[in-house]
Structure 1
Amino acid sequence: MTSLLPHLMFQGQLDAALTHWQGAFPDMVVTRTDGGDGPVTQANVVIAGQAISVFDSPPVHDFTFTPSISLMVCCDTRREVDAIAAHLGDGGEVLMPLDAYDFSARFTWLNDRFGVSWQIMVAP
Protein backbone atom coordinates (compact mmCIF):
# COMPACT_ATOMS: atom_id res chain seq x y z
CA MET A 1 0.00 0.00 0.00
CA THR A 2 1.24 3.50 -0.79
CA SER A 3 1.58 5.85 2.16
CA LEU A 4 2.76 9.37 2.90
CA LEU A 5 4.80 10.26 5.97
CA PRO A 6 6.22 13.76 6.55
CA HIS A 7 9.99 13.52 7.06
CA LEU A 8 12.18 16.07 8.85
CA MET A 9 15.96 15.92 8.48
CA PHE A 10 18.11 17.48 11.19
CA GLN A 11 21.87 17.95 11.32
CA GLY A 12 23.01 16.94 14.80
CA GLN A 13 20.12 18.44 16.79
CA LEU A 14 17.38 15.83 16.56
CA ASP A 15 17.66 14.58 20.15
CA ALA A 16 17.60 18.15 21.52
CA ALA A 17 14.62 19.05 19.30
CA LEU A 18 12.63 16.03 20.52
CA THR A 19 13.36 16.96 24.13
CA HIS A 20 12.25 20.54 23.44
CA TRP A 21 9.05 19.46 21.66
CA GLN A 22 8.14 17.14 24.55
CA GLY A 23 7.72 20.27 26.68
CA ALA A 24 5.10 21.63 24.29
CA PHE A 25 3.44 18.28 23.57
CA PRO A 26 3.59 16.10 26.72
CA ASP A 27 1.59 13.33 24.98
CA MET A 28 4.07 13.13 22.10
CA VAL A 29 5.13 9.56 21.34
CA VAL A 30 8.67 8.86 20.13
CA THR A 31 9.52 5.44 18.72
CA ARG A 32 13.22 5.05 18.08
CA THR A 33 14.15 3.39 14.80
CA ASP A 34 17.92 3.80 15.14
CA GLY A 35 18.39 0.88 17.54
CA GLY A 36 20.61 3.01 19.77
CA ASP A 37 20.78 3.80 23.46
CA GLY A 38 22.42 7.25 23.24
CA PRO A 39 21.03 10.39 21.62
CA VAL A 40 18.16 9.71 19.20
CA THR A 41 19.31 9.84 15.57
CA GLN A 42 16.24 8.36 13.86
CA ALA A 43 12.66 7.94 15.04
CA ASN A 44 8.98 8.07 14.26
CA VAL A 45 7.11 10.71 16.24
CA VAL A 46 3.38 11.16 16.77
CA ILE A 47 2.16 14.64 17.75
CA ALA A 48 -1.61 15.16 18.10
CA GLY A 49 -2.22 12.03 16.04
CA GLN A 50 0.13 13.05 13.20
CA ALA A 51 3.01 10.69 12.47
CA ILE A 52 6.31 12.29 11.44
CA SER A 53 9.58 10.61 10.53
CA VAL A 54 12.67 12.37 11.94
CA PHE A 55 16.33 11.77 11.14
CA ASP A 56 19.74 13.19 12.09
CA SER A 57 21.75 13.28 8.87
CA PRO A 58 25.43 12.33 9.27
CA PRO A 59 26.57 14.48 6.31
CA VAL A 60 26.35 18.25 6.66
CA HIS A 61 24.21 19.91 3.98
CA ASP A 62 24.07 23.47 2.66
CA PHE A 63 20.39 23.71 3.57
CA THR A 64 18.13 23.39 6.58
CA PHE A 65 14.42 23.88 7.25
CA THR A 66 12.34 26.49 5.47
CA PRO A 67 9.00 28.03 6.47
CA SER A 68 7.69 26.99 3.03
CA ILE A 69 6.67 23.78 4.81
CA SER A 70 5.23 24.04 8.30
CA LEU A 71 3.56 21.87 10.90
CA MET A 72 0.10 23.20 11.71
CA VAL A 73 -1.22 22.64 15.21
CA CYS A 74 -4.97 23.26 15.70
CA CYS A 75 -5.86 23.80 19.35
CA ASP A 76 -9.18 23.88 21.19
CA THR A 77 -8.42 26.98 23.28
CA ARG A 78 -6.49 30.25 23.15
CA ARG A 79 -4.72 29.20 26.33
CA GLU A 80 -3.39 26.08 24.61
CA VAL A 81 -2.19 28.16 21.63
CA ASP A 82 -0.41 30.56 23.97
CA ALA A 83 1.29 27.77 25.95
CA ILE A 84 2.53 25.87 22.90
CA ALA A 85 3.64 29.07 21.16
CA ALA A 86 5.54 30.24 24.25
CA HIS A 87 7.36 26.92 24.54
CA LEU A 88 8.19 26.40 20.86
CA GLY A 89 8.98 30.09 20.33
CA ASP A 90 11.62 30.16 23.10
CA GLY A 91 14.87 30.79 21.24
CA GLY A 92 13.08 30.78 17.89
CA GLU A 93 11.81 33.37 15.44
CA VAL A 94 8.27 34.74 15.09
CA LEU A 95 7.07 34.93 11.48
CA MET A 96 3.53 36.12 12.32
CA PRO A 97 2.84 37.49 15.81
CA LEU A 98 0.42 35.84 18.21
CA ASP A 99 -2.86 37.65 17.53
CA ALA A 100 -6.41 37.39 16.20
CA TYR A 101 -6.67 37.08 12.42
CA ASP A 102 -9.61 36.75 10.01
CA PHE A 103 -9.05 32.98 9.83
CA SER A 104 -8.47 32.31 13.55
CA ALA A 105 -9.23 33.98 16.88
CA ARG A 106 -5.68 33.14 18.04
CA PHE A 107 -2.80 32.34 15.69
CA THR A 108 0.96 32.54 15.40
CA TRP A 109 3.54 31.27 12.93
CA LEU A 110 7.06 30.71 14.20
CA ASN A 111 10.27 28.84 13.62
CA ASP A 112 11.47 26.98 16.70
CA ARG A 113 15.12 27.19 17.80
CA PHE A 114 15.92 24.26 15.49
CA GLY A 115 14.43 25.96 12.42
CA VAL A 116 11.23 23.87 12.21
CA SER A 117 8.30 26.04 11.14
CA TRP A 118 5.07 25.80 13.21
CA GLN A 119 1.65 27.40 12.66
CA ILE A 120 -0.32 27.29 15.92
CA MET A 121 -3.96 28.30 16.02
CA VAL A 122 -7.38 27.96 17.58
CA ALA A 123 -9.28 25.77 15.15
CA PRO A 124 -11.63 27.81 12.99
Structure 2
Amino acid sequence: MATINPYLNLPGTTEEAFNFYKSVFGGEFLAVIRFKDSPGGSENVAEADKDKLMHIALPIGKNILMATDSIGEMGMGYKQGNNYHVSINTDSKEEAETIFAALSAGGQVMVPLAMAEWGDLFGWFTDKFGISWMVSYSPNRPQ
Protein backbone atom coordinates (compact mmCIF):
# COMPACT_ATOMS: atom_id res chain seq x y z
CA MET A 1 0.00 0.00 0.00
CA ALA A 2 1.24 3.46 -0.86
CA THR A 3 2.25 5.91 1.84
CA ILE A 4 1.66 9.65 1.60
CA ASN A 5 4.10 12.20 3.00
CA PRO A 6 4.37 16.00 2.82
CA TYR A 7 7.19 17.41 0.67
CA LEU A 8 8.05 21.08 1.19
CA ASN A 9 9.74 23.61 -1.09
CA LEU A 10 11.55 26.29 0.87
CA PRO A 11 13.34 29.43 -0.37
CA GLY A 12 16.87 28.50 0.74
CA THR A 13 15.89 27.90 4.38
CA THR A 14 15.44 24.12 4.31
CA GLU A 15 18.43 23.31 6.52
CA GLU A 16 17.40 25.85 9.15
CA ALA A 17 13.77 24.69 9.05
CA PHE A 18 14.65 21.01 9.35
CA ASN A 19 17.05 21.55 12.23
CA PHE A 20 14.15 23.31 13.93
CA TYR A 21 11.70 20.46 13.10
CA LYS A 22 14.26 17.93 14.36
CA SER A 23 14.50 19.87 17.65
CA VAL A 24 10.72 19.65 17.99
CA PHE A 25 10.07 16.06 16.84
CA GLY A 26 13.42 14.40 17.58
CA GLY A 27 14.83 11.59 15.48
CA GLU A 28 17.58 11.50 12.91
CA PHE A 29 17.56 12.56 9.27
CA LEU A 30 17.10 9.66 6.85
CA ALA A 31 18.73 11.61 4.03
CA VAL A 32 20.59 14.89 3.59
CA ILE A 33 21.63 15.49 -0.03
CA ARG A 34 23.13 18.78 -1.16
CA PHE A 35 22.88 19.89 -4.77
CA LYS A 36 26.67 19.59 -5.14
CA ASP A 37 26.50 15.93 -4.03
CA SER A 38 23.68 14.84 -6.33
CA PRO A 39 24.48 13.04 -9.58
CA GLY A 40 24.93 15.78 -12.16
CA GLY A 41 24.39 18.45 -9.52
CA SER A 42 27.79 20.04 -9.75
CA GLU A 43 27.42 20.85 -13.44
CA ASN A 44 23.80 22.04 -13.37
CA VAL A 45 23.70 24.28 -10.30
CA ALA A 46 25.02 27.80 -9.73
CA GLU A 47 27.98 28.01 -7.38
CA ALA A 48 25.90 29.93 -4.81
CA ASP A 49 23.35 27.10 -4.67
CA LYS A 50 25.64 24.05 -4.48
CA ASP A 51 25.49 23.83 -0.66
CA LYS A 52 21.71 24.16 -0.59
CA LEU A 53 19.65 21.05 0.05
CA MET A 54 18.33 19.04 -2.86
CA HIS A 55 16.63 16.60 -0.49
CA ILE A 56 16.21 16.06 3.24
CA ALA A 57 13.99 13.59 5.06
CA LEU A 58 12.95 13.47 8.73
CA PRO A 59 10.78 10.64 10.05
CA ILE A 60 7.90 11.80 12.24
CA GLY A 61 6.04 8.81 13.62
CA LYS A 62 5.13 6.59 10.66
CA ASN A 63 5.43 9.50 8.23
CA ILE A 64 8.37 11.26 6.64
CA LEU A 65 8.60 15.04 6.30
CA MET A 66 10.73 15.87 3.26
CA ALA A 67 11.91 19.07 1.59
CA THR A 68 14.15 20.82 -0.91
CA ASP A 69 15.55 24.31 -1.36
CA SER A 70 13.74 25.78 -4.37
CA ILE A 71 16.38 27.16 -6.67
CA GLY A 72 15.81 28.66 -10.08
CA GLU A 73 18.05 26.24 -11.95
CA MET A 74 15.82 23.32 -10.98
CA GLY A 75 12.74 24.98 -12.44
CA MET A 76 10.71 25.18 -9.23
CA GLY A 77 11.23 28.78 -8.14
CA TYR A 78 9.70 29.36 -4.72
CA LYS A 79 6.49 31.30 -4.41
CA GLN A 80 3.70 31.04 -1.88
CA GLY A 81 1.30 28.32 -3.02
CA ASN A 82 3.86 26.05 -4.69
CA ASN A 83 5.77 25.36 -1.51
CA TYR A 84 4.47 21.82 -0.95
CA HIS A 85 3.78 18.53 -2.72
CA VAL A 86 2.01 15.39 -1.67
CA SER A 87 4.60 12.64 -2.06
CA ILE A 88 3.35 9.10 -2.63
CA ASN A 89 5.77 6.22 -2.07
CA THR A 90 4.49 2.98 -3.55
CA ASP A 91 5.26 -0.66 -2.86
CA SER A 92 5.67 -1.63 -6.52
CA LYS A 93 6.45 -0.26 -9.96
CA GLU A 94 2.96 -1.26 -11.10
CA GLU A 95 1.32 0.65 -8.24
CA ALA A 96 3.41 3.74 -9.07
CA GLU A 97 2.39 3.53 -12.74
CA THR A 98 -1.30 3.09 -11.91
CA ILE A 99 -1.42 5.95 -9.38
CA PHE A 100 0.61 8.29 -11.58
CA ALA A 101 -1.61 7.68 -14.63
CA ALA A 102 -4.86 8.06 -12.70
CA LEU A 103 -3.97 11.16 -10.67
CA SER A 104 -2.23 13.00 -13.52
CA ALA A 105 -5.15 12.54 -15.95
CA GLY A 106 -6.35 16.01 -16.93
CA GLY A 107 -3.46 17.66 -15.12
CA GLN A 108 0.01 18.86 -16.12
CA VAL A 109 3.00 16.50 -15.98
CA MET A 110 6.25 18.26 -15.07
CA VAL A 111 8.44 15.13 -14.81
CA PRO A 112 7.19 11.96 -16.52
CA LEU A 113 7.38 8.77 -14.45
CA ALA A 114 10.83 7.31 -15.16
CA MET A 115 13.94 6.06 -13.41
CA ALA A 116 15.66 9.03 -11.76
CA GLU A 117 19.39 9.56 -11.38
CA TRP A 118 19.17 8.60 -7.68
CA GLY A 119 17.77 5.14 -8.50
CA ASP A 120 14.03 5.54 -7.84
CA LEU A 121 11.13 5.49 -10.25
CA PHE A 122 9.91 9.08 -9.97
CA GLY A 123 7.36 11.42 -11.52
CA TRP A 124 5.91 14.82 -10.67
CA PHE A 125 2.70 16.50 -11.82
CA THR A 126 -0.05 18.90 -10.89
CA ASP A 127 -3.50 17.32 -10.93
CA LYS A 128 -6.56 18.86 -12.55
CA PHE A 129 -7.37 20.56 -9.22
CA GLY A 130 -3.98 22.30 -8.97
CA ILE A 131 -2.47 19.97 -6.32
CA SER A 132 1.19 19.06 -6.82
CA TRP A 133 2.01 15.34 -6.50
CA MET A 134 5.23 13.32 -6.61
CA VAL A 135 5.06 9.55 -7.11
CA SER A 136 8.02 7.32 -6.25
CA TYR A 137 8.93 3.69 -6.11
CA SER A 138 12.26 2.75 -4.52
CA PRO A 139 13.23 -0.69 -5.82
CA ASN A 140 16.12 -0.92 -3.33
CA ARG A 141 14.06 0.06 -0.27
CA PRO A 142 13.62 -2.76 2.24
CA GLN A 143 10.02 -3.97 2.17
- TM bracket (short chain): 0.3 to 0.5
Q: TM-score, normalized by length of structure 1?
A: 0.45
The structure in which a higher percent of residues are helix is 2
